[in-house]
Amino acid sequence: MFCKRMVVMGVSVAAAMTAAAHAAVTVTTPYQGVTLITRTDTTPRPVTMHVAEIDLTAPGISFGVTPSSGTKETTRQTTTDFVTQSNAQLGINVAFFDPVAVPASSNPQVYLAGMIASSGQVVSKFDPQPAPGFTPNQSYAIVSYAPALNIDASNKAMIVHRDASQADNQHILENTTLWNAVSGSAQIITDGTVTIPQYNDATHPDGLLTPGGPASYTNTHSWYDLINARTAIGLTQDRKTLVLFTVDIAGGSQGMSVGEVANILKNDYNCFEALNLDGGGSTAMSLRNPSTGVVSEINASSDGNYVGGRPEGVNLAVFAVPVPEPASIALLGLGAAALGLRRRKRQ
């Protein structure tokens, strides 16, 4: 076991075990404020999920997003390389990007779909559909001006929306500062309700999807219903826990629909808001081993073109500090007890 200590049973694990009696769940705390859950379910099909719950109030927690570079918006990089280069502890892939060239070195400069901000700098704006620079049109999957999840410099997180009164598509309606913001295809949990996009449904909170994509998607044959590897990000109602989620379609795992992901995030991990991020061969979660310092992708990538995962257009990194050793915790406890004894004597 590479992690410093094992959590025997937490609230999230109890919820997961209740929701899926056949699940095998391993929970570790590799860093302060980071709870890592590896979960294998057998229904509705064999799947392997990796879930990271990030305590936004924990000491040492901070975030980073791929900055702008190159001739387009960003330069492709694997999640593992981004975590390594950033000296971070954990990371996931984030937004959809284009072109997805093979090999990546043949065309490493890419455009991103949706609002992306890195340390206060806007990397990619809120995009209509089709998004500028994207070939082919991906409006069958990505909604127009999809919301983003923003984490400000003090770790206050919230879903943010485009201010349509500003023509530059870089301003938000919410009273917060864009700092580290990530976007995906759509908001899949909104105010505690699962909100999977519908085709030609003007009442949907995330806008319209255009049918007639590459597979002629409709409400009865939705892109969101496809079984695939998935990456998602969620936030609890109190905005104190950020949830990073991946499920594989490789290594014995058979993938999930976006609706299945949304239900698990809502019911098992208490997400009140969530976004669907880039999935399929892009799905990636990478962790720095707290004992060896080596960073590796902990999920099973389904992109067979690359060893170590697909180079992504944009990644989110989590910075965290080591878990205190038990001896240190004991000494802190003894120190506090001694301080209390001295205070009582003075009284």
The strands making up 157-160's β-sheet, listed across from edge to edge, are 121-124, 116-118, 180-183, 148-151, 157-160
- Give the predicted TM-score (pTM) of the model: 0.88
Q: Of 9-18, 56-65, 114-123, 130-139, where does mean pLDDT reach its minimum?
A: 9-18
Please state the domain extents for the chain: 11-346
End-to-end CA distance of the chain: 48
- pLDDT-based confidence at residue 200 (cuts at 50, 70, 90): low
Question: pLDDT for 119-164, tens place per residue?
Answer: 999 999 999 988 888 988 888 999 999 999 999 999 999 999 999 9
How far apart, in whole angstroms, are the C-alpha atoms of residue 284 and residue 5? 24
Contact 254, 227 (CB under 8 A): yes
For the cut 60, the answer to whether the pLDDT of residue 331 exceeds it is no
Any idea how long the chain is?
347
Other Cβ atoms within 10 Å of 250 Cβ, number: 17
| Contact status, residue 234 vs residue 271, Cβ threshold 8 Å | yes
